[in-house]
């Protein structure tokens, strides 16, 4: 007992004293959950916000409320990704009052369009992904770039470790309230290589270079 306490005192202070904290923070052990398998659905949940000021919606315990991604009219269900499967997904969304006003905030960069997915399926351990739409907010409408690259990183343990999404077309689409808008998601998965950096053994997932000779040159220089 005393031994445990002393051990804890030592290791707990080590943890507290370190300037590095494990991420994602969770009391759960991720390895007790099965990893993803190819093609497995990866649902996205997004932060609910108030339409007037973009502030989070909280539950009675003060937790941020998440809701499934917007409904795509094609499938009548929210957009979800498929683990390690590249795809081009069209998702037509009806820009009704609430969604229209939220997109005014997203495009104006008053609030991020932040969603989350699980590190491992059904683990309850979540990581964030921001969908960075670009465009211009005008008085009675907005112009939106509806074509997004979605880049997802997985690791050798078949976990999803990071993701990002951003508009990438040369033209915007004019949107008025109540209109159906076809959003296009170009989803690409990449297996990121874990590199241990620094004296504190921090693991970093880096996207591999498209040019392997560049990596060789950098490592050997
Ligand atoms: C996109 O914008 C370019 C440059 O303004 C224009 O020439 C082209 O016609 C536009 N394409 C569409 C589909 O509107």
Indicate which residue's Cα is closest to atom 1 of ligand 1. Answer: 171
Looking at residues 9-24, what average pLDDT do you find? 66
Ramachandran bin of 27, using left for φ above 0, alpha for ψ from -120 to 50, beta for the remaining angles: alpha
| Model confidence at 1: pLDDT above 50 | no
Distance 171 CA to ligand 1 centre (A): 6
* Residue owning the nearest CA to atom 5 of ligand 1: 171
CA–centroid distance, 170 to ligand 1, in Å, is 7
State pLDDT tens for residues 152-175: 999 999 999 999 999 999 999 999
The 10s digit of each residue's pLDDT in 19-35 is 888 899 888 889 999 99
Q: Is 170 in the pocket of ligand 1 (CB under 6 A)?
A: yes
The CB of 143 under 6 Å from ligand 1? The reply is no
Phi-psi region of 39 (alpha: psi -120 to 50; beta: other; left: phi over 0): left
User: Whose Cα sits closest to atom 8 in ligand 1?
Assistant: 171
Q: Pseudo-torsion of CA 34, 35, 36, 37, nearest 10°?
A: -80
Q: Do residues 157 and 35 touch, judged by C-beta distance below 8 A?
A: yes
Distance 180 CA to ligand 1 centre (A): 20
**In three state form, how does the secondary structure of 5-23 look?**
HHHHHHHHHHHHHCCCCCC
- Give the integer Cα–Cα distance in Å for 129 and 111: 14
**Contact present, 166 and 76 (Cβ < 8 Å):** no
Shortest-distance atom of ligand 1 to CA 171: 1
Single pTM value for the model = 0.86
């Amino acid at each position: 007992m005393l031994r445990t306490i002393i051990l804890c005192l030592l290791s707990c202070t080590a943890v507290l004293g370190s300037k590095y904290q494990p991420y994602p923070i969770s009391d759960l052990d991720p390895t007790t959950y099965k990893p993803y398998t190819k093609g497995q659905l990866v649902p996205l949940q997004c932060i609910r916000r108030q339409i007037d000021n973009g502030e989070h919606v909280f539950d009675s315990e003060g937790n941020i409320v998440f809701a499934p991604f917007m409904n795509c009219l094609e499938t009548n269900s929210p957009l979800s990704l498929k683990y390690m499967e590249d795809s081009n997904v069209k998702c037509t969304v009806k820009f009704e009052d609430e969604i229209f006003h939220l997109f005014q905030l997203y495009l104006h960069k008053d609030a991020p369009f932040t969603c989350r997915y699980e590190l491992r399926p059904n683990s309850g351990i979540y990581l964030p992904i921001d969908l960075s739409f670009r465009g211009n907010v005008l008085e009675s409408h907005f112009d939106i770039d509806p074509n997004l690259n979605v880049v997802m990183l997985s690791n050798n343990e078949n976990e999803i470790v990071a993701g990002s999404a951003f508009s990438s077309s040369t033209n915007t689409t004019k949107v008025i309230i109540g209109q159906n808008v076809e959003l296009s998601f170009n989803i690409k998965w990449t297996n990121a290589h874990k590199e241990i950096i620094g004296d504190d053994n921090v693991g970093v997932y880096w996207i591999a270079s498209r040019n392997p000779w560049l990596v060789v040159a950098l490592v050997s220089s």
